[in-house]
Structure 1
Amino acid sequence: MTDWITTPLRADMLRGAVDVERTGLGLLPHRLPARARAQNTDAQLAMAESQPSGVRLVFRTRASAVELDTVPTKRVYVGAPPRPDGLYDLVVDGRLVAQGSVTGGHTLTVDMTAGTFEHTPGTPGSLRFSGLPDSMKDVEIWLPHNETTELVALRTNAPVEAARASGRPVWLHHGSSISHGSDAASPTTTWPALAAALGGAELVNMGFGGGALLDPFTARAMRDAPADLISVKIGINVVNGDLMRMRAFGPAVHGFLDTLREGHPTAPLLVVSPLLCPIHEDTPGPCAPDTERLATGQVRFMATGDPAATAHGKLTLATIRTELARIVAQRRADDPNLHHLDGLGLYGEADHAELPLPDALHPDAATHRRIGERFATRVFGPGGAFAPAGSGR
């Protein structure tokens, strides 16, 4: 019988979280601070920011067995196939060694057609990793990137120590569901997690599914968060949400960047334009589920806007790319640490021919890996925006 040691969970044991809420059961990591959450009224963003993409529980121990109790929130989409349980990635001394899931928990029923969310409470579940080497090691448990996770208890068969500082630069990234990790294989294989590992950075992922909309409270949260490197990937949600016209878009981008610079005046700041998404290249939003496909159990999206409306300021990915390039070029005269990356260089037409978007909107696991590897090469590599000083940046 294993003699378990229970270690009280503390906020400082979590990396990648912007805020940690103490609940009646334990700790709930957030990727927006409380003040920003109070200013948000959108259920989609509330769900997305509570899903701990990039958040990991870190500690040192000699334990050969680790148990974690959590309360996950499982999503059920009306009319769509059941979603798999979220994955936890166990990383030991920088290497992925095991994966697991927690069953049970709360249920969030989402009706994409009606735009409704219904929450049904549940109970905690447990996850166990065993057979680990009986030696002192750095342990990271990456929480499911797409499953809200309340941490309840940590048990090990040897004492736990605080994790050592990584010494790596903190990379703060903001983007859409693709940055959040939609359809990635696991939390360590979202494209930002892969790029951070390859680039030697400590990731704080503020990619929110459906929520990259230039919200001022997100800009202020990023302004106030510690960061050495910053990137913002802008475009797809602005188009598929159809919440903005060109007249408002340019000033909103300037305002977002101005706010970031208030807190990080000289940090390398990278603006990434949209990846290829054929349905929205020249057709504005809004984006909507394809109800005919949904009736057959397939999830697929479609653009419902009128291409002719771009003459009146409606936004497409093509027009946004042009405007972002113009804004960055204009600002660089006074901000040499501001950089631009065309998203088509991360995923473009040739990539789409080989690796099409399964639901017409989100990349699959193989595409996440390709995007992450390309980002690491182009941004963290020699001559890139995040290349170390003295390496040709």
Structure 2
Amino acid sequence: MTTITTPITEDLLLGHLDVERTRRGLLPHRLPAGARRRIPDEQLAMAESQPSGVRLAFRTRATTITLHAVPTKRAYPGVPNVPDGVYDLLVDGRLTARAGVPGGNLRTVDLSTGRVELAEGPPGSAHFTGLPERDKTVEIWLPHTETTELIALDTDAPIEPTPSGTRKRWLHHGSSISHGSNATHPTGTWPALVANGAGLDLTNLGFGGGALLDPFIARTIRDTPADLISLKLGINLVNSDLMRLRAFTPAVHGFLDTIRDGHPATPLLVVSPLLCPVHEDTPGPLAADFSDGTLRFRATGDPAERAAGRLTLTVIRAELARIVADRQAEGDRELHYLDGLSLYGPPDHDAHPLPDGLHPSPEAHRLIASRFAELACARLGLLGPWAPSCG
């Protein structure tokens, strides 16, 4: 068997907005370089480098494929080990195999002090065998919460990039829930489930802890081609206790104004927060709680301070609905609102509780995806006739 080694180049990637050539490989980024220069904290810098929704895509007859890469794994002292990242391989849109990459770097974060240590480790490889011997489209979805430097592909047949522009482009921005927290593999996040079910080309700008109405995120969305844009806003603003209602309303308008500068008539869906009982009526900031030996989250604010403009999820839902209604009345017919409680509400929490009090379970990711596809397709009509398997 002849092995063909193909270095990873940008034309083999989808779902990214930039690449960085490192000493050992190609590092995909979900924000362009100009936006990355505006990042004010280590949390968002780490999140945008984690390739949620980023995948290798190519045509081939290969039956064996090996991906060489350098993952950056995470550890938190005093917390159970974070599982290694998963690489999902799809053949013609169907999940066919999963693998991991051993080795790599280790990033240790002390949650009590914020101190970060990075230890460099060796490259590793993910092996996929027994693939059908025919012409096919192969996608390898990278681990959604594990920064990954890509080196090369070894195959037993030539590969070529997939044709571009064959699918409608969906650009989504949100919090760690959109990033994929608690999903066990990269095509199990709710945006990936929607995209693969509806045949959409996903660019996922869901960033753990990073949906904070930053202007450089709005400019990135403004400048990125898209056929559909969705924004899931609110939870990070509450759990970071970043702003009060007086600042929130003009910040949302400014965020939407910037997007509309580049996408004046693109369907734009504003999604309010899913149910999160700790923050429904209690402001942030959020605190990690290890009192029972596992990681859970609790709100530390005072509900009485809502009168002074402290944000809660109920406050944000009402204000987002009002903002969208006002802008619709001003003539923006392609702006839409979706109540997050219709995606995950009290009955859903009873059936699928949040394991850590903040992030949905893998089962809840599937539920949210199903609801989003149903509501965005059938009720809102945003995906239109070009969503062949929506819902």
TM-score by length of 2: 0.97
The answer for the alignment partner of 2:335 in structure 1 is: 338
Shift in alpha-carbon separation, 1:43–1:282, aligned structure 2, 3 A: same
Displacement of 1:381 in angstroms is: 2.9
Q: Which amino acid aligns with 2:295?
A: V
The answer for the alignment partner of 1:359 in structure 2 is: 356
The answer for the alignment partner of 1:313 in structure 2 is: 309
* Alignment deviations for residues 33-64 of structure 1 (CA, whole Å, 9 cap, x no partner): 11111111211101100000000000011111
Displacement of 1:156 in angstroms is: 0.5
Q: Distance in 1 between matches of 2:387 and 2:58?
A: 33
Q: Distance in 1 between matches of 2:133 and 2:300?
A: 57
Q: Which amino acid aligns with 2:184?
A: A
The alignment partner of 2:385 has SS state of coil
* Alignment deviations for residues 286-327 of structure 1 (CA, whole Å, 9 cap, x no partner): 00101423xx2x111110111111111110000000000000
The answer for the alignment partner of 1:220 in structure 2 is: 219
* Alignment deviations for residues 225-248 of structure 1 (CA, whole Å, 9 cap, x no partner): 111100000000000011111010
Q: Which amino acid aligns with 2:364?
A: T
Whether the 8 Å contact between 2:285 and 2:301 is mirrored in structure 1 is yes
Whether the 8 Å contact between 1:43 and 1:117 is mirrored in structure 2 is no
How do 1:1-393 and structure 2 match up within 5 A? 2-165=1-164, 167-293=166-292, 296=293, 298-333=294-329, 334-381=331-378, 383-388=380-385
Q: Which amino acid aligns with 2:182?
A: D
Q: Distance in 2 between matches of 1:307 and 1:384?
A: 37
Q: Which amino acid aligns with 2:300?
A: T
Q: Distance in 1 between matches of 2:314 and 2:33?
A: 35
The alignment partner of 1:388 has SS state of helix
Displacement of 1:164 in angstroms is: 2.3
Displacement of 1:335 in angstroms is: 0.4
Displacement of 1:186 in angstroms is: 0.9
Displacement of 1:116 in angstroms is: 2.6
Displacement of 1:166 in angstroms is: 5.7
The alignment partner of 1:75 has SS state of strand
Tell me how large the CA RMSD over aligned residues is. Answer: 1.4
Whether the 8 Å contact between 1:113 and 1:289 is mirrored in structure 2 is no
Whether the 8 Å contact between 2:267 and 2:382 is mirrored in structure 1 is yes
After TM superposition, the structure 1 stretch with the greater mean CA deviation from structure 2, 358-367 or 105-114, is 105-114
Displacement of 1:153 in angstroms is: 1.2
Shift in alpha-carbon separation, 1:306–1:390, aligned structure 2, 3 A: closer
Displacement of 1:120 in angstroms is: 1.4
Whether the 8 Å contact between 2:199 and 2:387 is mirrored in structure 1 is no
The alignment partner of 1:275 has SS state of coil
Q: Which amino acid aligns with 2:61?
A: R
After TM superposition, the structure 1 stretch with the greater mean CA deviation from structure 2, 319-328 or 125-134, is 125-134
TM-score by length of 1: 0.96
Whether the 8 Å contact between 2:7 and 2:151 is mirrored in structure 1 is no
* Alignment deviations for residues 168-225 of structure 1 (CA, whole Å, 9 cap, x no partner): 2100000000000001121111000111122221110000000000000111111111
Displacement of 1:77 in angstroms is: 1.2
After TM superposition, the structure 1 stretch with the greater mean CA deviation from structure 2, 192-201 or 333-342, is 192-201
Q: Which amino acid aligns with 1:225?
A: T
Q: Distance in 2 between matches of 1:16 and 1:155?
A: 22
* Alignment deviations for residues 336-367 of structure 1 (CA, whole Å, 9 cap, x no partner): 00000000000000000111000000001000
Displacement of 1:22 in angstroms is: 1.2
Whether the 8 Å contact between 1:176 and 1:207 is mirrored in structure 2 is yes
Q: Which amino acid aligns with 1:114?
A: T
Displacement of 1:112 in angstroms is: 1.8
Whether the 8 Å contact between 1:21 and 1:27 is mirrored in structure 2 is yes
Displacement of 1:24 in angstroms is: 1.4
Whether the 8 Å contact between 1:379 and 1:387 is mirrored in structure 2 is no
Where does structure 1 differ by over 6 angstroms across 4 or more consecutive aligned residues?
Answer: none
* Alignment deviations for residues 88-123 of structure 1 (CA, whole Å, 9 cap, x no partner): 000001110000001111111112222232211111
Q: Distance in 2 between matches of 1:133 and 1:197?
A: 20
Q: Which runs of 5+ in 1 are unaligned?
A: none
Q: Distance in 1 between matches of 2:127 and 2:154?
A: 9
Shift in alpha-carbon separation, 1:237–1:270, aligned structure 2, 3 A: same
Q: Distance in 2 between matches of 1:28 and 1:224?
A: 21
Whether the 8 Å contact between 1:26 and 1:150 is mirrored in structure 2 is yes
Q: Which runs of 5+ in 2 are unaligned?
A: none
User: How many percent of aligned residue pairs carry the same amino acid?
Assistant: 63
The alignment partner of 2:27 has SS state of strand
Whether the 8 Å contact between 1:75 and 1:109 is mirrored in structure 2 is yes
* Alignment deviations for residues 236-262 of structure 1 (CA, whole Å, 9 cap, x no partner): 000001111101000000000001111
